[in-house]
Homo-oligomer: A and B are copies of this chain.
Amino acid sequence: MNKIIFKAFLAAFLLLGNVANLKAQEISAMQAPQVVSPEVGPDNAVTFRVLSETANSVTINGSWMGFGKTLPLTKGEQGVWSITIEPLASSMYHYNFFVDGVAAIDPTNPHALRDGTRYASLLMVPGEGAELFQMNDTPHGNMSQVWYDSPSLDAYRRMYVYTPPGYESGQESYPVLYLLHGGGGDEDAWTSLGRANLILDNLIAQGKAKPMIIVMTNGNAWQTSTLRQKPGLPPITRESYVQFQGQFEKSLVEDVIPFIEKHYRVKANKDSRAIAGLSMGGGHTITASITYPGTFGYIGVFSSGIFNQNENMDEIEKKFLALKASGVSKYWVACGVDDFVMESNKRLLDVLKKTNFEHEYYENEGGHTWANWREYLSLFAPMLF
């Protein structure tokens, strides 16, 4: 009888319903889109299409192009605008259309991701370079949105916690990576744009990284959680950053770490604690590690540095010497050659050299992009624990 009820239900659902009354969601799930976009060709050339009979101009910006650049789509038959771009390397990208100047996600692409306060459409160009960022047929770790009290910030805050495959069904204790986002991001960034959970799923499945817990906090000390959950927040200002300076690092070490070590099966010692962050999160990483020496045994600074030319370098060097004395297994620095933070990144490297702080430096192409930060995580995670 299950069968009969279900078939009957389907008949009504698919055929007999008053279409004007159907939920848009259900219609969109049932109807083939009018155009196909994006379409990846056998040579990895990509065609984007969007339907508009009346638009005056349609352009596209993609993460492979750099910020602010656009390419025009051409209007063809029946109002379908399209562009085929040169083959892209196998990887993960995102893009937006601009229809008469209005930013739009691709209406026929169901895969989108949040980029700070904007949404963009996801493009996966399959192949070797994309496999680490895809959901493959491997065991997957669980992802949780976890609320915790932060006495340091006098706030009730949200973080994302990745537990590796096997955590829930086993008894083992795990090391922890504290992974920090950059300016304009929030606790959602490392999984939406960064795909940290899928990168670790894949690295662990390949035996390239040890199973670990990843804790992705919200690094904006004035926020309790991502924008998406709380409409009506005032926009971020420079004053917000300055007002809360240094407080996030305190809350990370004094509130978050004790919470994690109380509620999860973790190895609670320096050599089982790593910290890494990008851009502003790299700044947080530098500050947290030198302010609390002996806390983290593994440190990763992605696309960041120490910036102020007039810094009291003597004092900084003392702090780095104390950190070094506490015993750091790995200090890893990474930056793209075109990154606008390169100068300050070099100042960090200078301090490390001057203090004879054993470290590794990885420099690659590109600038201040998630493509680089996904790569840095892919390289850093296998060095841990």
Contact = CB atoms under 8 A, between A and B. Distances in A.
A279 interface: yes
Contacts of A355: none
B308 A8 contact: yes
A41 interface: no
Interface centre among A9, A22, A308, A344 (most CB of B within 10 A): A9
Contacts of A182: 23, 25-26
Contacts of A78: none
Nearest to A369: B23
Interface string A193-234: 100000000000000000000000000000001011111100
A171 interface: no
Copies in the complex: 2
A155 B9 CA distance: 25
Given A55-B102, A143-B144, A23 B308 contact: no
Interface stretch (A324-332, A334-342, A357-365, A374-382): A334-342
A249 B143 contact: no
B28 A116 contact: yes
A13 interface: yes
A110 B119 CA distance: 8
Nearest to A235: B32
A74 to B, nearest CB: 15
A132 to B, nearest CB: 15
A8 B306 contact: yes
| Count class of interface residues, chain A | 35 or more
Contacts of A185: 25, 29
A122 interface: yes
A5 B184 contact: no
Contact of A287 (B6, B119, B287): B6
16 contacts: A5-B306, A7-B242, A8-B308, A9-B306, A12-B340, A18-B340, A21-B338, A23-B184, A28-B116, A28-B184, A30-B236, A50-B102, A110-B118, A111-B231, A113-B228, A122-B228
Interface of A: 1-14, 16-18, 20-30, 32, 50-58, 66-68, 79, 97, 99-105, 107, 110-119, 122, 124, 126, 134-135, 137, 139-147, 156, 158, 165, 168-169, 182-185, 189, 193, 225, 227-232, 235-236, 238, 241-242, 245-246, 249, 263, 279-280, 283, 286-287, 290-291, 304, 306-308, 311-312, 315-316, 319, 338-341, 344, 367-370
